[in-house]
A and B are shown apart, each in its own frame.
Chain A
């Protein structure tokens, strides 16, 4: 990974030294205008050479991957995952979470700080980075909290945290509810120089809500979270950011009204970016009718109109990138009545396949746009999107775009199984992921042979 903040990323294994020759694949990198059959040679962490199909020679000791019928894409970057470390390593740890990421074609992830303890001091951040150097299969960055203990009151030592390698700041899971605190964080941003990533929600509007406030909530008798809880907070935060000349990133946009708020802010020149999750792009409140806690997350799945507004916004670029909000939870916690179960679903292993199946195959979104939106997740934070061009870092994945699979049938790489797409048949399987030149994931059935 390259970019201003690439030095804050951690990965186990040190610099990659070997070579991998991917032979006879479709090489697809829309940003570079590349779409043709060809060979791709990875050497010492970089893309060494791109050539015509079966034209590149395998260097001695190289792994040769016969990739007929497969597509090479630049690796995906997820700006929003919960790796549950420290504190809930029973749900996920750095190794399992980054293994799940690699299995989904991701070569880099950014982890949220709402752990136990919260990542709100340089020592906690330092120990996490150290652990990632031992355990992370793909490049991993860590965000730090905006307020101490995510209490919403007192700012963290943002300047020191930035020096210690905090990727950005967020109280994700909770909003920065008080306008005055958010304003101070945006003022202090001039010192710390990192993006503020914001979970947008007005607690007084959300109340005890656990799903989208609408028809389905009315039928189920379950308290709702109205769309305006999100959109009014985005409007507020954008106004303050504009006033302070700050830079904000809106996390997991879920509502049509929010898209409008982002468009308005951008039109007024506010430095604002936004992300959307695969579950909000593929599913609606309709899934909640069964009160299955696999469909409980915050923000909630909203109406069909919201979903289609999100898809349009992703296509037009109003929403910059896809983020999974991968949120593992222990089985016993999710196996409770809907209102009691914790919010959050896993998503790293299904993100591409779900979006490919639900949006690309029906012709709602083209593959090029999807690849662009899934590879640019680090851009708002200072990471360049991976590319297949020679001399770029070798961050890529190899996908069978035609293969079907059933989610969960073969288990999950994640330690948790609370996947919103569980049981669905999806099209598109990641066969292999390469992160900074090293193989981070290989699908079990995918045979490779080393050629001397």
Chain B
């Protein structure tokens, strides 16, 4: 493991497996009444969010708190960022607090990589533009592996707006690295030219989707529904919506959320037992705990935190009376 988690390509298969196993052990902690472990006590984690986000930011916050870290949340609105402070200056200012990690979400590709260059902290990319969202990919892999046991040879179809999706870009690579066979499917206007380079097949129609073991639907963002990417929502839904007719009984369904019911997914499949959507959200916390542990206390490069590595991360500290 490197100092940071910027993109899926930073992770070897064994890194992913180690994180998944760590997440499993944290899942056990999450089942306890007291869900906290002392691993990161006294250390500071900054959540720097330049885009609105509910599930990712809350999940990172919760993950950090369950590891007993101190958490500082910085949002772009109402902060110095609003006053025109550059990303570099913001990072240097926050670095003065000597954070162990900076979690950053930005509307711009490469922002997390820049922060990693400017800061000694471990930097975790929580989404940079349309580039990558590696912790989402890890939690997707975790969720699916929990359900299926093994991922080797599993066929996954990722359906929808691949062009604008960081979830797709990270997901394709992570699933492929775990031995899955990935196909992306969507209207040609929303599939980037050259996407095969990520290690996937391309299909313009759902015709062959019967072969899929897992259908991963992407969120169709409101701003893409108009304009020339798709002629109309009606035509998009007619061609690409996953509904009860298209989802076969032996297939699993995933979605990064939030779902547009009636657009990429019909209501009936969202609520079906084949859907793993709620499990994906649940997995978010333990997987992000595992990532924080891995970078700050685990198998990462020798950092000042290495004294924690000998401890059992799941050991619950006696609470003061």
Contact = CB atoms under 8 A, between A and B. Distances in A.
B192 A337 contact: no
B110 A214 contact: no
Interface stretch (B74-82, B125-133, B273-281): B125-133
A221 B132 CA distance: 8
A402 interface: no
Contacts of B255: none
Contact of A336 (B87, B129, B194): B87
A290 interface: yes
A338 B197 CA distance: 21
A340 B131 contact: no
A256 B87 CA distance: 37
Contacts of B192: 217-218, 221, 224
B247 interface: no
B195 A220 contact: no
A365 to B, nearest CB: 29
B108 A339 contact: yes
A213 interface: yes
A213 B132 CA distance: 18
B154 to A, nearest CB: 23
Contacts of B88: 332, 335
Interface string A318-350: 000000000000001001111110000000000
A12 B150 CA distance: 74
Given A218-B192, A220-B131, A337-B129, A291 B198 contact: no
A339 B110 CA distance: 8
A340 B193 contact: no
Contacts of A291: 109-110, 113, 131
B114 A337 contact: yes
B194 A337 contact: no
A447 interface: no
Interface residues of B, number: 25
Contacts of A335: 86, 88, 114
Contacts of A337: 87, 106, 108-111, 114, 128-129
Contacts of A271: none
A340 B108 contact: yes
A219 interface: yes
Contacts of B110: 220, 291, 337-339
B3 interface: no
B169 interface: yes
A220 B113 CA distance: 12
Interface in B159-204: 164-166, 169, 192-195, 197-198
Nearest to A332: B86
Interface in B131-150: 131-132
A338 B113 CA distance: 10
B114 A218 contact: no
B198 A218 contact: yes
A221 B131 contact: yes
A226 B192 CA distance: 11
B113 A217 contact: no
Given A332-B86, A336-B87, A337-B106, A221 B166 contact: yes
Contacts of A404: none
Interface in B297-315: none
Interface string A193-222: 000000000000000000001111111111
B226 to A, nearest CB: 15
Given A335-B88, A338-B109, A222 B129 contact: yes
Nearest to B6: A291
Interface string B111-127: 10110000000000000
A218 B195 contact: yes
Given A335-B88, A339-B129, A222 B109 contact: yes
B191 to A, nearest CB: 9
A221 B198 contact: no
B132 A217 contact: no
Nearest to A222: B109
Contacts of B198: 218-219
A222 B130 CA distance: 7
Given A219-B197, A221-B169, A224-B193, A338 B130 contact: no
Contacts of B195: 218-219
B169 A336 contact: no
A210 to B, nearest CB: 9
Contacts of B86: 332, 335-336
Contacts of A213: 193-194
Contact of B194 (A214, A290, A339, A340): A214
Contacts of B109: 220-222, 291, 337-339
B193 A218 contact: yes
Nearest to A223: B130
Interface centre among B109, B130, B132, B197 (most CB of A within 10 A): B109
A227 to B, nearest CB: 11
Contact of A215 (B87, B106, B128, B197): B197
Given A222-B109, A290-B113, A337-B110, A215 B194 contact: yes
B194 A221 contact: no
Contacts of A340: 108
For the complex of A and B, 10 pairs with smallest distance between CB atoms: A291-B110, A221-B130, A337-B108, A215-B194, A218-B192, A218-B194, A215-B197, A221-B131, A218-B195, A337-B111
8 contacts: A214-B194, A219-B198, A221-B166, A222-B131, A224-B193, A335-B114, A337-B110, A338-B109
Interface of B: 86-88, 106, 108-111, 113-114, 128-132, 164-166, 169, 192-195, 197-198
Given A215-B197, A337-B114, 20 more contacts: A214-B194, A219-B197, A220-B110, A220-B131, A221-B165, A221-B166, A222-B109, A222-B130, A224-B192, A224-B193, A226-B193, A290-B113, A332-B86, A335-B88, A335-B114, A337-B106, A337-B108, A338-B108, A338-B109, A339-B129
